[in-house]
C-alpha cells in the first residue's frame, strides 16, 4: 500500500509523539498494561460455549467489540490524535452504557439513545465534555489540538504531544476499561455458575489505585458503586 507525502508526514509525527508518550506517566501506562492483561484473561475465560439468552448474546457482542477496539483507542491517545480519541471514547461510553442497560433491564425497543447515566464511577460526567470536543462547541479546545509548536497563530496537521490531553484522555480510557472488565465479569458469573472464575476486582485494585494516584479519581471507588 502506497503512502502519500501527507500520510508519511502524519505517520512520522505520530511515531514521535508515541515515543514521547512512552516516556511520560509510567504508572498510568503500567495500569493500561495491567487492565489489558486482565481483559485478555477474561476473553480467554469466556471462550467456551455457553447457553445464552438473547439479552446475554447482545451483551457478549457489545463487550467483544469494545475489547476489540481498545487497542485503537490506546494508539490514538499515545500517538497524539486527541480529537479522534475523544470521538471514539464518547462512542465507547455509549456502547458500554447500552450493555449495562440491557443487563439491568432498562433497555426497551423505544430506548434509542443509551443513557450514559447508568455508567458506574460517575463516568457520565465526562460524556458532556467529550461531546463538546466532538461537536466543536468548544473551539478553543480544537485549536489546542492543532496549534503549531511555538506559533500560536498557526495550525498544523501533524500530531503533537500535548498535556493535559495526553494524560487526561489516557486516564479516561483506563477508567472505561475498568468498567468494561467488571461488566464482562458480571456476564461470566451469569453464564458460568459454579465455575472458578478470575477475581476481577482483585486484579483491578492496582489499576484503580493508579487512577487515584494520578488524581483522575479523588477516592478509591467502592464495589457497590457498580450499577
- Predicted structure pTM score: 0.89
The count of domains in the chain is 1
Range of the domain at 217: 5-225
Q: What is the pLDDT of residues 132-191, one digit of tens each?
A: 777 766 555 666 666 655 555 556 788 899 888 899 999 999 999 999 999 999 999 999
DSSP the chain: ----HHHHHHHHHHHHHHHHHHTS-HHHHHHHHHHHHHHHHHHHHTTS-----HHHHHHHHHHHHHHHHHHHHHHHHHTT-HHHHHHHHHHHHHHHHHHHHHHTT---TT--S--GGG-STTTTHHHHHHHHHHTT--HHHHHHHHEETTEEEEE-SS----TTHHHHHHHHHHHHHHHHHHHHHHHHHHHSTTS----HHHHHHHHHHHHHHTTSSSS---GGG--
Q: What is the pLDDT of residues 41-97, one digit of tens each?
A: 999 999 777 888 999 999 999 999 999 999 999 999 999 999 899 999 999 999 999
Amino acid at each position: 500500500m502506497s503512502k502519500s507525502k501527507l500520510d508519511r508526514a502524519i505517520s512520522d509525527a505520530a511515531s514521535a509523539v508515541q515515543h514521547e508518550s512512552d516516556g511520560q506517566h509510567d504508572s498510568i501506562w503500567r495500569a493500561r498494561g495491567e487492565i489489558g492483561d486482565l481483559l485478555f484473561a477474561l476473553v480467554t475465560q469466556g471462550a467456551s460455549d455457553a447457553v445464552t439468552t438473547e439479552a446475554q448474546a447482545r451483551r457478549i457482542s457489545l463487550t467483544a467489540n469494545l475489547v476489540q477496539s481498545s487497542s485503537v483507542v490506546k494508539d490514538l491517545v499515545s500517538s497524539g490524535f486527541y480529537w479522534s480519541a475523544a470521538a471514539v471514547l464518547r462512542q465507547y461510553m455509549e456502547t458500554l452504557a447500552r450493555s449495562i442497560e440491557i443487563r439491568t433491564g432498562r433497555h426497551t425497543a423505544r430506548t434509542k439513545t443509551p443513557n450514559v447515566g447508568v455508567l458506574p464511577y460517575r463516568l457520565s460526567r465526562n460524556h458532556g465534555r467529550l461531546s463538546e470536543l466532538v461537536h466543536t462547541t468548544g473551539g478553543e479546545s480544537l485549536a489546542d489540538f492543532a496549534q503549531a509548536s511555538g506559533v500560536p497563530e498557526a495550525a498544523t496537521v501533524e500530531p503533537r504531544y500535548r498535556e493535559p490531553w495526553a494524560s487526561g484522555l489516557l486516564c479516561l480510557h483506563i477508567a472505561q476499561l475498568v468498567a468494561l472488565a467488571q461488566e464482562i465479569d458480571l456476564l461470566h458469573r451469569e453464564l458460568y455458575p459454579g465455575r472458578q472464575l478470575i477475581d476481577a476486582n482483585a486484579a483491578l485494585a492496582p489499576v484503580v489505585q493508579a487512577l487515584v494516584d494520578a488524581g483522575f479519581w479523588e477516592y478509591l471507588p467502592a464495589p457497590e458503586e457498580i450499577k
